Structure 1
Amino acid sequence: MPRTTLTDWLTNFIPHPGAPEWRERVRRAGGALLGIAFTGIATHLLFGSAGDIPMLVAPMGASAVLLFGASESPLAQPWSIVGGNLVSALVGVACAQWIATPVLSAAVAVALAISAMFLCRCVHPPSGAVALTAVLGGPAVHALGFRFVVTPILFQSFALLSAALVFHALTGHRYPRAVWRAAAPANAPASTLGTPAQAAEEAGVLADPQRLSFDEITCEEFMTSADHAVPLTMGRFAALETLRRHGVHALPVVDDAHRLVGTVTHHDLAHGRPEGFGRRLWRALRRTTLQVEETVEAVMASGAQAVHRATPLTHLASIFADHSCYEVPVFDDARRLLGVVKHSDMIRWLHQHAGAAYAYAERPVADAS
């Protein structure tokens, strides 16, 4: 393996530098504290006298990490935690009763739980631990049988979710997030999108025609992930391979704190920065190495067309038209990269919602008399 390729691969193990500010960290940790405390106290008050119901099951700690620490994740939404824990508990109890070998039962339980969560669209990583708990939880859990699904799993899932809903509402944080409203991916076949009116109907647009305005939608609601972002120190040829692998026209460039610092295009990476005589002379005098000149930082375009996450989507129309770009990076208050808004997604959204507006206008109006 070439040295450059090995180095780039090893950088994948470096922890992600992005982290919320201290106030937000305290808010999320405090939410987890209150959520777990509420769940445990509620279980004890309602079922404590029975003596056979665990006050807290371990997977709830992992669920708390998602509900309070990463509440914007699709894996942390209400149906994910309730549905994921429910189907995983059912699968786990069934495997514990029907498969005598513990290791085989645990393996089958986790595999079937994942399959069931995909089928029910409720993938929730801590639910894998729910399935394992049902199998390896010991005599007390086995004695509960399918009661384990309702108490404690389903009850504690609802209790923790209720605490999260109240906590986020009181602290001014938007939860849950309708992640399914995001625009369809660019490579999705047209047959899966349905007609524009059907797509808009499913998204609830016809019930609220005011949402057809770009002024009502922020870039944060519309953006997709920016998993093709590259660091300043990445080699030019490695970045070019990343660009080709993702099939995009440009790559967002971030620093060590995941702050957006610019963009680099295929032209920049393929041809590098043109050098005048003065620059070549200065490089010769300073004896700058070829490796330094071959980084993304050396060839990227200065500045970038980017927007804050609260920017209305209508603001992007002029950016796409005036600068001929295919996607616009979205950043937060600390200028950390959050995602990108793609030109193709906006066109697809307009096509779908224009059909929705037409369908809404064509609906017969009930006679007021």
Structure 2
Amino acid sequence: MPPHGNHDTRVHHPLSAFGPAVGRATPASLARGPVGAGLALAVFGAALLLPWLPRWDGLILIAPFGASAVLLFAVPNSPLAQPWSAVVGNGISALMAVLVLSVMAEPVLAVSLSLALAIFAMVLTRSLHPPGGAVALVAALSPEMIDRLGFGFVFAPVMAGTAVLVGLAMVWHRLTGRVYPFRQPDAAGPHGTADKTPGQRLGLDPEDLRQILEANRQASNLGVEDLGRLIAAAEQLAAAHQLGNQTCEEVMSRDLVTVSPTTPAGRVAALFRTYGFTSIPVVTGDDRLEGVIFQIDLIRSARRAARQSHSGFFAALTRLSGTSARNAPRARDIMSVGLPTVTRQSPVGDLLPLLDDGRAEAVPVIEGERIVGIVTRSDMLSVLARTAARAAA
């Protein structure tokens, strides 16, 4: 009988399970992880040679730090790479090995027991960090070093060195635009409030997400925050599919009110009052997009002016809106730049992730470097309302 439904009829090679399971590397990941890890170990190693650094007998580089650096710099979102896992996992693994060596001299048994107890302790303390197994082996295979350092080995080099790597990873990821440590479920949203962005409000609380991870035995591989982001991304993609083949050209506003980069801020404020817009593009004489001014940009500019002049916010806002053209800030001084853009033929679904986080009220539609339209949140709400009405009919 012919197959029914949407069964997967692809033939899988018996050895396919042994192929790569990690996604393809991006140029950013090829640069960010290796460069960060290399620089961190170089800085760490160079600091140990500084003459003014206090000489701690145990503060040395050990091989497991290389494995920790791989996690901290290449896969910083992994639960195995978070500060608690790294510092406590390595530290408690070292402690287990030192305890074993204090009562057992036979090397083979010491190695196996140290590793087993290290894994047990890391799982028990929710600090699973694979390099911890290497820490236990280094200790068990180096009884002379443990005789010299004793329980101090746990603190230096292990915990102190791991803490240094964690600190360097935090600095590196901040400089390269990543979040590390990853956001916890109760962390503030992009606006500094407890609310997530609209696209991330799933109707599931952190405990629900934890239960999903535990039920699928993924708690050690994926964090609650990451699972929430993946579910939100899947929902956005499903919503984009429901929008069909609509393009941005079909929904964009075309009769644009724009200003030049030299337009005084007071004139911009007057346009906001006249038209009731929430965004105004800044363009050159040939309609080349320079940036977009949102109403919040005026408020931020007034706040900066209030701090600089040591005056009240409302007084600064009044001056900003009514200052003479000669002294007023210009559009180029307050506009937002580097905003995402789309083209006429971009699917409307591409706008969903661009407009859901609150950072942009509108997305310019460009042709080359010229702006030909703009899609606002109001436009997007109308599209979604019409799509929902058609689906319900």
- State the TM-score, normalizing by the size of structure 1: 0.50
Higher RCO (CA-CA < 8 Å; seq separation 6+):
1
Q: TM-score, length-normalised on structure 2?
A: 0.47
Higher helix residue share: 1
